[in-house]
Structure 1
Amino acid sequence: MRKILLLLFATVFSLGITYAQGNGGKLITGKLLDSQTKEPLIGATVTIKGTTKAVSVSLDGTFKIRVPEEGTTTLVFSYIGYISKTLDVADKNLGTITLDPTTSSVKEVVVNASSPIAVNRSTPIAASSVNQVYIEEKGAGAEFPELLKSTPGVMTSRTGGGYGDSRINIRGFSSNNVALLINGIPANDVEAGKLYWNDWAGLQDVTTFMQVQRGLSATDIAVPSLGGTINILTRNTEKDPGGTISQSVGSFNSFKTVLSYATGLNDKGWASSFLLSRTSGDGYAQGLYYTGYNYFANISKVWKNQTLSFNIMGAAQSHGQRYTFNTISTYRAAPDGTQYNSDFGIYNGKVYSAEQNFYNKPLASLNHNWTIDSKTSLSTILYGTYGYGAADYLSAAPGVSGTTPQGYVTLTPGSPTGVPRTGGTYSPIDFNSIIQTNVNNPDGSSTRIMQNVVNKHVQGGLISTFKKVFGDFHTLGGLDLRYYTGEHYNTVADLLGGDYITDARVNSATSPTGNINNPNAHVVTGQRFNNDYRYDVGSEGVYLQTEYIKNDLSAFVSLAGNYTNNRRTDYFNYTPGNQNSPWVNFWGYQAKGGVNYNIDAHSNVYVNGGYIQRSPLVAAIFLNKQNEVNANAKPEKLLDYEVGYGYQSGIFTAKVDAFRSTYRDRTVVRSTGAVDTDGTPIVVNISGLNEVHQGFEFEGKLRPVKDITFTGSLTIADYHYLTNTGPAQTTSSTGTTVTQSSLLLKGLKVGEFGSAPTSAQTTAALGVDVQVLPAVKIGANWNYYARYYATFDPTKLTSTGYTNYEVPNYSICDLNIVYRFKFAGLDASFVGNVYNLFNTEYLSDAYELNPPLTPAGQNFATRTNALGVWYGAPRMYMTTLKVKF
């Protein structure tokens, strides 16, 4: 009955719209798109100027409106977040009309050197997009990756809950195999390939468009990703003067203030804009406090056919963290329940985290765009970053027992080798007691300290792309040059009441510590100890791509190659003159292509495929914190292919695809979790990891009536290991290398190696947005996760019997409301967001430190109680008031 009533309502409503519009006059048709991304502006308004007669744009960007037969009629095209446009009606078919985002660049110049944005019904890849309106309405209290959580193939998590510590997986690939491009500039960590979102904690304040491309992607830079690419376009110079100010207030004392202003383009071709914001809060678990400052500035000069633009952006932040996985029984027993954090304490009467992070990584770029003629252009970006910060955590002084192999103090509640606490087992860490112990040491030394593990780097690059159109062929080629220097060292951040620590030299072959040039140094606050080394990484790449576009057919072929140069310099483990390793070089390349065919105005099909050989990352090239070269490090390979179908109409759009990616020759170097007789970690070198990532994806939109839009997605995938590994080589402290049998991973579900989170292999999402009144919009989003497997320690799988532990299925629901109004004659809006509306309790991450190999050990209750877990975030809210001036 409900379905019949809904159908009847939709029919009557549609007839009412048709009747209200009338049959008289001239029917005008057209399509309204974003000028930069060519995405349909769904729900935009087309109004006859001087009247209240209007229609809204459909899902495919098309619109129809009747105007008087006689006289001149002017149409007004408007959409939130875009500059309105007026157009005098001359023809019945207006063709394609574009609107500029309010933060679009002057003269419609896209700020990225190469254009990696996939175009619907043209670029033959799987891609999903998020625009500025979605970010404003859904993302005020979300971590940046969570804006993509309803996208097929995507899994996000806040991990321990620290500000900016969230992660994203695409098609089962972790972040070191997912590329992040900000205005075409690569932003992944050079050494391990990871995405550290706290480096870009304020990114959503300046993002105008974000697109995730799954699989091969349309990116033409020389160093590729394997699982997917996230392309972000930020604001650039705005055409008109004006600004915004907004204030957000939310759960757990969350506050955020944003101020932006643009001068507009003057008659001499100059324009500038800036944005500043401050974010702070306590976090949803104690000790997760944070403060962040986001900044952005742009200065541009425009000539007749050239634009020169300087941009700088970044986020200076500091936040408390939570790294310790605790068991479910621990959370049940702790007074704070699922929000329990074992990693914070009280220091001089104030909440103080035993694990903190601070970082600032400004990204500056000089962008030159030159339209040589109607068929030729050259775009170049010269960019650079300077990053400085550290992980600041409680640790034992060198040689002191009671730590993990990495030097962390054991923070598991109730551990006999753990830390003193202010009360019972689940109370905060007692930093004052630690200070008193240090003060009482007869020799004045500290046994426990706060240490900074510093990462300081300088990176520069140049990306230059030349484009030329030859008839139906669009060809581009370019250079991708990069150089990176990263310094890593430990310093004493706080001696916690003592006067010094002794950095005794330990000559372990697996993980030497201390300074060979000063073997018993007394180290004080700010000085370096334990290790001090540097990586230099260079990359020289070229790329060439040809795209054929004619009528309903588009196809592309892309080739790229790069040569990487890697060197390690160690100041503590080698004497002067012997501190540089030799340069270690690798070739990498990629070849990919695809074809899209538009069957008719509604349907299209596509296919793509490619092969990638990627140079190993520098973190896998050098072993055991020394300049020793890993003989088993070799290029990783990916074979990927995909087929897809799309349907598009004014009411319903859908995309479906099937994919298969085979990932071979992965190398991992990691601690085994065990220590040798001298207390140093035992390191294992694992080679020959082979995986397959395959599945089916769907996403769609339905707009049965003008003011209601439904969205949905579904992923059913299979990510598993194809084979057992190659030999696993373990090096002891005496320098002896022991080759273990292969690790027996074949058939097991893929997770990021060790304790890092994995991906749910079945995900679904549903969303609805309802324009209940002209100024009021309500939205809801539901996400479901199933076939989600805990990560495990693979170094212990030297015999058969292990099966993956499946985390319980869960779903969460978010709600938002938007109210737009006038305030003192200015455009204003109020946005309210509630996340995890029903306060669902769920495991967002789980780790099996001791994977059981026997049926008895795999008893569900036994395994569950042994898991280390993090619970997902509880119900939270955020309210935002924004005024444009």
Structure 2
Amino acid sequence: MKTSLKGIKVLSYKGSKFLKTRRTKSIFFTLFSLLYSLFSFAQEQEKDSTKVNSLDEVLVSAVRVTTKTPVTFSNLDKKDIKYRNLGQDIPILMNYMPSVVTTSDAGNGMGYTGIRVRGSDATRVNVTINGIPYNDAESQGTFWVNMPDFASSVESLQLQRGVGTSTNGSGAFGASLNMLTDNYASKANGEISSSYGSFNSQKNTVKFSTGLLNDHFELAGRLSRIKSDGYVDRASSDLKSYFLQGTYVGKTTLIKALVFGGTEKTYQSWNGIDAETLNSNRTFNSAGMYTDEAGNIRFYDNETDNYQQDHYQLHWSESFSDKWSSNLAVHYTKGKGYYENYKYDEPVAGYGPIEPTKMVENDNGELVPGTDLIRQKWLDNDFYGTTFSVKYKDEKLDVIFGGGWNKYEGDHFGKVIWARNSAQSELGDHYYDDFSTKTDGNIFAKANYQVTEKLSFYGDLQYRNVKYKSNSADTGLVDDNFNFFNPKAGLNYEINQKNTLYFSYARANREPNRTDYEGGNVKPEKLNDFELGWRFNSEKFQLNSNFYYMAYKDQLILTGTLDDVGAPIRSNTDKSYRLGFEVDATIKLSEKFILRPNFTLSSNKNVDLAVEGQNYGTTKIAYSPEVIAGNIIVYSPLESLHISLLQKYVGEQYMNNIELASAKLADYFVNDLNVSYEIKPKSVFKSIMITGLVNNILDKKYVSNGYMWDVYPYYYPQAGINFLAGLTLKF
């Protein structure tokens, strides 16, 4: 068995060189010079006939949709998040949205977490923050551990299922997640919140806002720290984050400068456990395990992942008239970090001038020179670019023209920081070095036209160009240039004030990621997405239902296996599809009782699947449960008291595509209980909120994720009953 798995972030996310000092200074000088110029320009504006558009209205209009658009979506806003925001990651907070399945390596929703939508993993979910791409350029994944407690700075988020509308960043093959950070506050305020719970989990957050100074300027910020020992042995997390924004509000102008980021140190819990260990010792963690010279089993105390990521964004939203508005943004992200492994009985080939101390077995069972060593795999990257949009709106026509240009520069290198009885290598030497770049540019135009009083037409055209270069030993020399055309169209028919029907078609194309190139001959993917939906809206009952059919060509499906550093291996399948029916509703039974159920029924199939020359016919796509259901029961006996029972059911699913019996993950049904009580004192504090969350109240022993090691399954068990309790003071 491997002793170090799942360097998902390692090979893929964090790689590039530090910017040269002159270049760094130039970028920051340009950003702040532009900010100063925009502030100066904004102060000169005297257009009394128009009102300032909020960031929601101008920026978000380029990436979000409303019920007037024939797209399947769900929203989650700050008030929905606040009752459960006790330190768990954003995917966990999204767990009860339609077609969503979440998982946690540490088992308790802190540290490394993941999300799948309609069976599509995180590399297929396009994530933007204020319209700026967040997915890693190389792996296409999203690493929430790099943004601890980001939920405390989110105003709202929208999850578009399927291809959705054109947006910046990598193409959406399962969903698009658009997050909007905090809006400005008119009045000064502050907030202190702390929580504590099982596994020594704790979160401490401080927020402030100056309010609008002189009716124009606001400065706001947040500091957070999250710590947890994790449910799994040694699966600890030490996460720190910050968020700072300056806002200028004019009569027709909104300018925001944001700086946010975080550091994370997590003890690796990526290996999972085999079936026997799952039954005997669910929390066992093999990461860092080795045998010392005396024959004792020990665990390396620094088997950790370490990373820092800092984001800089500058947004300028302008309203030129009642019909015209625009948004321009520039951004820069710096990331650097490494993960560290103790490698026991490691072949020395490929590690540079290291003296072997013994003979060990390699992957082929051959005896080769080896030793014990400690290595670090580093990533050092820069990501920067610009996005823009221009909007025109009148009574019948709503048009947005936009696009973006973004570049990633990544350096990947490795160090051996210790090897047993070896004096040939120097501290700081690299045993591998490779560099990669990726340039991603797109332009799009989308429009909603009111054909008649009840019928509207939606059209969306996007052209995207992607250039990727890499020179690693694993990928070989890569120099690819992709040109993608992604058309979308749909109809929205309003039967009456309560009932609306919609139909849409969307085309998406997507390039391979870094790990895909390691597998050799790889093709880009193509998707045709058809959505047919019905929306019903009344005072006490809201219903959203839709059928979807997603037909793929050369889909890169998860095989269920991992490479030598734990990155998921994917392979092209000629034809595949996802066919499903989704329903979500809000039912107001009374002033005190609200139900929010949702469910998804789906069929996810590979057609004539061929693996290593063998045809398996039509099989189920890996990690794609046919049934996903959620429900939230809200009881509010008092205006200040909220009691929620949150329920989630995920049907059985396979961890590979050939329906191997041992690869089946069992279904599970989990219940959480959330209670919050708010006190509004007459002095000192505006609000005192006491919150409690009991996860898995029925103590269900379940597994939400896993992988296959040849024909042997490995699992990521989730925590049984556990709790979090918090106190929030607002003033």
Normalised TM-score (structure 2): 0.83
**Matched-pair identity in %:** 22
Task: List per-residue Cα deviations over 1:642-662 (Å, max 9, x = no partner).
Answer: 101111111111111110101
Task: List per-residue Cα deviations over 1:31-77 (Å, max 9, x = no partner).
Answer: xxxxxxxxxxxxxxxxxxxxxxxxxxxxxxxxxxxxxxxxxxxxxxx
2:94–2:100 CA contact under 8 A, matched in 1: yes
Give the Cα separation in 2 of the matches to 1:350 and 1:114: 52
Q: Is residue 2:312 matched to residue 1:343?
A: no
Instruction: Look up the equivalent residue of 2:664 and give its one-letter code.
Output: E
Q: Is residue 2:418 matched to residue 1:495?
A: yes
Bigger Rg over Cα: 1
Q: CA deviation at 1:776?
A: 1.6
Q: CA deviation at 1:130?
A: 1.3
2:347–2:361 CA contact under 8 A, matched in 1: no
2:131–2:167 CA contact under 8 A, matched in 1: no
Aligned residue for 1:252, secondary structure, equals helix
Give the Cα separation in 1 of the matches to 2:257 and 2:634: 38
Aligned residue for 1:841, secondary structure, equals coil
Name the residue aligned to 1:815.
Answer: 673
1:788–1:806 CA contact under 8 A, matched in 2: yes
Q: CA deviation at 1:569?
A: 3.9
The 3 A distance-change label for structure 1 pair 213 and 281 is same
Q: 2:525 aligns with which of 611, 629, 636?
A: 636
The 3 A distance-change label for structure 1 pair 685 and 596 is closer
Q: Is residue 2:238 matched to residue 1:256?
A: no
Give the Cα separation in 2 of the matches to 1:131 and 1:837: 25
Q: 2:56 aligns with which of 92, 110, 130?
A: 110
Name the residue aligned to 1:694.
Answer: 579
The 3 A distance-change label for structure 1 pair 498 and 670 is farther
Q: Is residue 2:720 matched to residue 1:874?
A: yes
Q: 1:546 aligns with which of 415, 429, 447?
A: 447
> What are the residue-to-residue correspondences of 1:220-299 with 2, within 5 Å?
220-221=167-168, 223-267=170-214, 269-299=216-246
Q: Is residue 2:402 matched to residue 1:478?
A: yes
Name the residue aligned to 1:843.
Answer: 703
The 3 A distance-change label for structure 1 pair 304 and 580 is farther
Task: List per-residue Cα deviations over 1:252-274 (Å, max 9, x = no partner).
Answer: 11111100111111116221111
Q: CA deviation at 1:117?
A: 5.7
Name the residue aligned to 1:454.
Answer: 378
Q: 1:663 aligns with which of 549, 552, 574?
A: 552
Q: 2:434 aligns with which of 533, 546, 559?
A: 533
Give the Cα separation in 2 of the matches to 1:663 and 1:645: 25
Query: What RMSD, in angstroms, separates the aligned Cα atoms of the two structures?
Result: 3.3
Instruction: Look up the equivalent residue of 1:759 and give its one-letter code.
Output: S
Task: List per-residue Cα deviations over 1:801-848 (Å, max 9, x = no partner).
Answer: 956843322211000111101355411100111111111111222434
The 3 A distance-change label for structure 1 pair 340 and 607 is same
1:123–1:218 CA contact under 8 A, matched in 2: no
Task: List per-residue Cα deviations over 1:591-645 (Å, max 9, x = no partner).
Answer: 0112212211211111111222233335435x57xxxxx5x44331101101011
Moved more, 111-120 or 827-836: 111-120
Name the residue aligned to 1:71.
Answer: none
Name the residue aligned to 1:603.
Answer: 499
The 3 A distance-change label for structure 1 pair 779 and 674 is closer
Task: List per-residue Cα deviations over 1:291-350 (Å, max 9, x = no partner).
Answer: 1111000112233312221101112111112122322322333xxx32222225699999
The 3 A distance-change label for structure 1 pair 256 and 478 is same
Q: CA deviation at 1:202?
A: 2.3
Moved more, 340-349 or 152-161: 340-349
Q: Is residue 2:114 matched to residue 1:167?
A: yes
The 3 A distance-change label for structure 1 pair 111 and 385 is farther
The 3 A distance-change label for structure 1 pair 116 and 780 is farther
> What are the residue-to-residue correspondences of 1:205-604 with 2, within 5 Å?
205-221=152-168, 223-267=170-214, 269-333=216-280, 337-344=281-288, 353=301, 355-396=303-344, 399-400=347-348, 447-469=371-393, 471-492=395-416, 494-495=417-418, 498=421, 500=423, 522-529=424-431, 531-549=432-450, 551-569=453-471, 583-604=479-500
Give the Cα separation in 2 of the matches to 1:141 and 1:293: 12
> What are the residue-to-residue correspondences of 1:715-726 with 2, within 5 Å?
715-725=600-610
Task: List per-residue Cα deviations over 1:182-227 (Å, max 9, x = no partner).
Answer: 1111111111211222122221121121221101213443742111
- Uncovered stretches (5+) of structure 1, i.e. residues with no partner: 1-104, 404-415, 419-444, 501-521, 574-578, 625-629, 729-739, 752-757, 852-865
The 3 A distance-change label for structure 1 pair 583 and 702 is same
Aligned residue for 1:642, secondary structure, equals strand
Give the Cα separation in 2 of the matches to 1:722 and 1:460: 40
1:711–1:768 CA contact under 8 A, matched in 2: yes
1:115–1:184 CA contact under 8 A, matched in 2: no
Give the Cα separation in 2 of the matches to 1:527 and 1:106: 55
1:145–1:168 CA contact under 8 A, matched in 2: yes
Instruction: Look up the equivalent residue of 2:328 and give its one-letter code.
Output: T
Instruction: Look up the equivalent residue of 2:316 and give its one-letter code.
Output: H
2:560–2:707 CA contact under 8 A, matched in 1: no
Instruction: Look up the equivalent residue of 2:510 and give its one-letter code.
Output: R
Name the residue aligned to 2:689.
Answer: 829
1:181–1:231 CA contact under 8 A, matched in 2: yes
The 3 A distance-change label for structure 1 pair 779 and 357 is same
Name the residue aligned to 1:99.
Answer: none
Q: CA deviation at 1:110?
A: 2.8
Name the residue aligned to 2:649.
Answer: 784
Q: CA deviation at 1:467?
A: 1.2
Q: CA deviation at 1:242?
A: 1.1
Aligned residue for 2:81, secondary structure, equals helix
Name the residue aligned to 1:771.
Answer: 636
The 3 A distance-change label for structure 1 pair 235 and 722 is same
Task: List per-residue Cα deviations over 1:357-381 (Å, max 9, x = no partner).
Answer: 1111111111011111111111111
2:99–2:118 CA contact under 8 A, matched in 1: yes
Moved more, 579-588 or 703-712: 579-588
2:69–2:448 CA contact under 8 A, matched in 1: no
Q: Is residue 2:589 matched to residue 1:704?
A: yes
2:467–2:480 CA contact under 8 A, matched in 1: yes
Aligned residue for 1:226, secondary structure, equals coil
Task: List per-residue Cα deviations over 1:708-749 (Å, max 9, x = no partner).
Answer: 111101111111111324xx7xxxxxxxxxxx52x5343221
Instruction: Look up the equivalent residue of 1:721 and give its one-letter code.
Output: N
Q: Is residue 2:79 matched to residue 1:178?
A: no
2:516–2:569 CA contact under 8 A, matched in 1: no
Q: CA deviation at 1:458?
A: 0.3
Instruction: Look up the equivalent residue of 1:649 and give its one-letter code.
Output: S
Task: List per-residue Cα deviations over 1:444-487 (Å, max 9, x = no partner).
Answer: x9922232211111011111111123551111112311111111
Name the residue aligned to 1:131.
Answer: 77
Aligned residue for 2:618, secondary structure, equals coil
The 3 A distance-change label for structure 1 pair 132 and 687 is closer
1:307–1:369 CA contact under 8 A, matched in 2: yes
Q: CA deviation at 1:106?
A: 8.5
> What are the residue-to-residue correspondences of 1:141-156 with 2, within 5 Å?
141-156=87-102
Normalised TM-score (structure 1): 0.69
Q: CA deviation at 1:671?
A: 12
Task: List per-residue Cα deviations over 1:377-401 (Å, max 9, x = no partner).
Answer: 1111101101111222222586349
Instruction: Look up the equivalent residue of 1:664 and give its one-letter code.
Output: K
Name the residue aligned to 2:40.
Answer: none
1:563–1:587 CA contact under 8 A, matched in 2: yes
Instruction: Look up the equivalent residue of 2:139 and give its one-letter code.
Output: A
